[in-house]
Amino acid sequence: MKILHLTDTHLGNHLTVRGAPEGWHRGLDHEAAMARALEPAMRGEVDLVVHSGDVFNRSRPSPDAMRAAARLLTRVARRTPIVVIPGNHDRRGVAKSLPWRAPNIHICERPERLVVGAVALALVPFFRRAGAWADAARRAVGQGVDLLVAHQAFDGAIVPGLVFRAGEQLDTIGEQHLPDGVDHILCGHIHPRQVTVVGETRVVQPGSTERTAFSEAHETKGTAIWSLDRHISFEFRDLPTRPMRRIQTHEDLAGLQPGTLTQVTGQVPDELVLETGAWLVGSGRPRVSPPPRRQLGLFPRRSRFTEGPQRLPRQFKPDERSVQTPT
């Protein structure tokens, strides 16, 4: 049996862009990335599709994002069963955002054990506290499963500038939180592709299908294909994505391709960036705050030591009902 695992499609992720064709928005890239991710299912190369959370970029997605998700998932579901769990961006639930869907799409609303064909899955949505996740995972595993599907940060996972550690973040899962008998976890939430080993469990994170921020500019995006035969194995599949680049100096303009999403963080004029055919996202330049209005002389500071009668500070008397007597 073969399973296509994708995650963090973030449909509806819009950006304000200068230089792009009229009518273009960043959400079109995320929709195209999800369509490419699902192509193995459309070609009949897998027996099941698992989406491990953050289908949408916002908990209340736009109508365009909802229609895109319904169109893509319904088209695939005519050929292959699909299982979807909600991520932290789907906190209202995925079902509310997919009013139109085929019967072959199973949307997990709460932790559960699900058998699809020859594979038993434990489905555990995102939880804000590791202890609550641990309780839910044990219930979902029940009498045993082949794979666990999650949308969570696990101990040792790495994103730019941070290594997740159980106990340091409330929602990070450590070895002590894992249910017995789970050797492999299909995981979302972490956008850089990686495999994290927690105890004896491998947590496989294929990462988002498209870059969602400039901090991901150098990351490879894609999916994972799982094979369940005598042994369980997987392989990552790469997806093409729109290039992104930060522009700090004039040297960074060299080799800039048309359609590249750029962010100016130095003193390079925006016009030079746009002349290359690249597209400009906002401005990464540091914002200079104006001096305080008192410093400008708009509101002269009043001295505490002025002549004449002084207003005494109001005495605070606590409500007797709020006073606790030490025991």
Domain boundary at 239, 256, 276, which? 239
Judged by average pLDDT, the poorest of 29-33, 100-104, 196-200, 273-277 is 100-104
Q: Model confidence at 160, in pLDDT bands (50, 70, 90)?
A: very high
Q: 158-187 b/e with 16+ CB inside 10 Å = b?
A: ebeeeebebeeeebbbbeebbbeebebbbb
Tell me, yes or no, whether 273 lies in a domain. Answer: yes
CB atoms within 10 A of CB 236: 16
Yes or no: say if 224 and 236 are a contact pair by the CB < 8 Å rule: yes
pLDDT at 157: 98
Whether residue 57 is found in the same domain as residue 108? yes
Measured CA to CA, the distance from residue 216 to residue 182 in angstroms comes to 30
Q: Kindly report the CATH number assigned to the domain that includes residue 220.
A: 3.60.21.10
Yes or no: say if 49 and 72 are a contact pair by the CB < 8 Å rule: no
Tell me, yes or no, whether 160 lies in a domain. Answer: yes
Whether residue 92 is found in the same domain as residue 30? yes
Cα 150 to Cα 34, 125, 186, 203, 294: the distances in Å are 19, 6, 6, 9, 53
pLDDT digits (tens, 9 = 90+) for 238-247: 999 999 999 9
- Average pLDDT for 254-280: 94
Tell me, yes or no, whether 322 lies in a domain. Answer: no
Question: Whole domain around residue 276: which residue ranges?
Answer: 243-298
Whether residue 90 is found in the same domain as residue 225? yes
Measured CA to CA, the distance from residue 137 to residue 108 in angstroms comes to 13
Whether residue 235 is found in the same domain as residue 275? no
Q: Which two tokens stand for residue 123?
A: 């489905």
Whether residue 205 is found in the same domain as residue 83? yes
Tell me, yes or no, whether 51 lies in a domain. Answer: yes
Tell me, yes or no, whether 258 lies in a domain. Answer: yes
Domain boundary at 207, 239, 271, which? 239
Q: Model confidence at 101, in pLDDT bands (50, 70, 90)?
A: low
pLDDT at 95: 81
Whether residue 178 is found in the same domain as residue 207? yes
Measured CA to CA, the distance from residue 260 to residue 252 in angstroms comes to 12
Tell me, yes or no, whether 145 lies in a domain. Answer: yes
Model confidence at 29: pLDDT above 50: yes
Tell me, yes or no, whether 105 lies in a domain. Answer: yes
Whether residue 174 is found in the same domain as residue 260? no
pLDDT digits (tens, 9 = 90+) for 202-212: 999 999 999 99
Which residues, other chains included, contact 268 with Cβ-Cβ below 8 Å and sequence gap of 6+?
Answer: 247, 248, 249, 250, 252, 253
Q: Model confidence at 102, in pLDDT bands (50, 70, 90)?
A: confident
Yes or no: say if 21 and 137 are a contact pair by the CB < 8 Å rule: no
Whether residue 226 is found in the same domain as residue 247? no
* HSE-up (13 A, CA, CB side) for residue 145: 26
Model confidence at 325: pLDDT above 90: no
Pairing of strands 261-264, 244-247: parallel
| Percent of the chain's residues with pLDDT above 90 | 77
Domain boundary at 192, 213, 239, which? 239
Judged by average pLDDT, the poorest of 4-8, 222-226, 280-284 is 280-284
Whether residue 161 is found in the same domain as residue 262? no
Tell me, yes or no, whether 120 lies in a domain. Answer: yes
Whether residue 87 is found in the same domain as residue 150? yes
Report the domain count for the chain: 2
**Residue 136: is it exposed, middle or buried by C-beta count within 10 angstroms (0-12/13-18/19+)?**
buried
Model confidence at 216: pLDDT above 90: yes
| Percent of the chain's residues with pLDDT above 70 | 85
What sign for the dihedral angle of Cα 243, 248, 254, 258? Answer: positive
- Average pLDDT for 257-266: 95
Whether residue 104 is found in the same domain as residue 227? yes
Whether residue 276 is found in the same domain as residue 195? no
